[in-house]
Structure 1
């Protein structure tokens, strides 16, 4: 309980809001750090120099002596890689598959790495899909998105078969990985009865952003009263003005999902797009609330 109380105090100090989604005005207090201005660039990402490492997928099995009872498929952001989320990786933080007080001992983590793609502005890096432009979040390469969808859909189906129960599989991710994982969740949740979703600094994918079929899939999810109550948690950086801007990208996308009873929005500020360990906190909080059995 001590670590949870400490986290609650940190949230209050940093200005967290966690509540069912509402369009009523909200206030928050910025954290101690000044907002960062971000650009979509692989040069700012802390990725390994070895290309073979960058392209590796990673997995973390349930802790020794504990039965696998829950899976999290978690996707990295643009120009990052799955192994960065391993226990000794730069993005491991206090994720629930990392040894320590937040370890969910029955959890298996699947941490895939995106393919290397050349973007229209000449940059090459790991990416779940090709962008339309460096300052735009729209999909610009439809075939790259289709290929990623096929790959991730197959992965999720295999994990559900392995578990024997879709309700024990959760999807999540950060930045571009948040958007991609949410696209997968929205399209497969009704069919596979998935457990839920948790992501940070992303937005709800829509047809207008190049995610063909996402609008229809979201309508199906909204119409399924049982699946619609499953948790869909998003952590949004209110002071992200460039990478995934709140006002122009995130907020408009959320209007399409505001009818979901399971939708919860956590608004944060003080770190810009690079929210660091806050990314891990919301993942832990969702699993403790909706997969407590994984901590037994």
Structure 2
């Protein structure tokens, strides 16, 4: 895995003046182009695409490297990390969390040089949601990310993170950074976690047979406890985003955070 280069992300430039950037991670077995193009072709109730709603928004859809998935008889698939959801051995997860965190942090830094950290939204679908939730937790900087949007996801190692919870939220950051082999953050006396200042939107289908909605609710509850500004939406849907309902909610939420 360490010797394989990351594929080039699908980048869709804004049609107007660049004001914000949205970085979204695909689910296991997909890729940035497949996920991104389908999402960008979907339309809201108003008959518009996300790009039409937000002409100043740049879209970045990275692709996970291919490696052997234990869950799929060691077939080569695009995945952000090895995972058994909440069951199975944990040691298979950490290498992917480390390598992918390094990659996504690099994408965020690259965009921050162009547009600024406070104008970047991250998120993802399914395993991409799971991975980007960890990135949200382990991203600790002087400036918070603008927002987070997740679909049909969960929080890997949630039970361990729950045990590391502290009222000030620092315990979650410390644990997430440790999972990703990041340096221990040196906390200033008055400093708080960056992630608690990032508004969040999480959506999940009640009929999801791949990632139980109970896991999505579990993730939402943990971020709630940390004091995050989080919106939670449930849909009459399976393992996917619901069109047009969920797209409508994403547009409304983006309009609020991008003001």
| 1:146 aligns with one of 90, 98, 119 | 98
**Shift in alpha-carbon separation, 1:167–1:284, aligned structure 2, 3 A:** same
Match of 2:173 in 1: 217
Higher relative contact order (CA 8 A, sep 6+): 1
**Shift in alpha-carbon separation, 1:174–1:138, aligned structure 2, 3 A:** farther
Secondary structure of the 1:197 match is strand
Match of 2:128 in 1: 177
Alignment of 1:111 onto 2:61:
yes
Secondary structure of the 1:91 match is helix
Alignment of 1:291 onto 2:258:
yes
Match of 2:234 in 1: 267
| 1:94 aligns with one of 20, 34, 43 | 43
TM-score by length of 1: 0.65
2: CA distance, partners of 1:141 / 1:226: 24
* Offset, 1:153: 0.8
Q: Is the 8 A contact 1:234 1:265 kept in 2?
A: yes
1:178-217 superposed matches below 5 A: 178-188=129-139, 190-206=141-157, 208=159, 216-217=172-173
Secondary structure of the 2:77 match is strand
TM-score by length of 2: 0.74
**Shift in alpha-carbon separation, 1:79–1:258, aligned structure 2, 3 A:** same
Deviation string 1:113-150 (CA, Å, 9 cap, x unpaired) is 11111111222211111124798696724212211111
Question: What are structure 1's unaligned runs of at least 5 residues?
Answer: 1-53
2: CA distance, partners of 1:230 / 1:169: 10
Deviation string 1:13-50 (CA, Å, 9 cap, x unpaired) is xxxxxxxxxxxxxxxxxxxxxxxxxxxxxxxxxxxxxx
Paired positions, count? 226
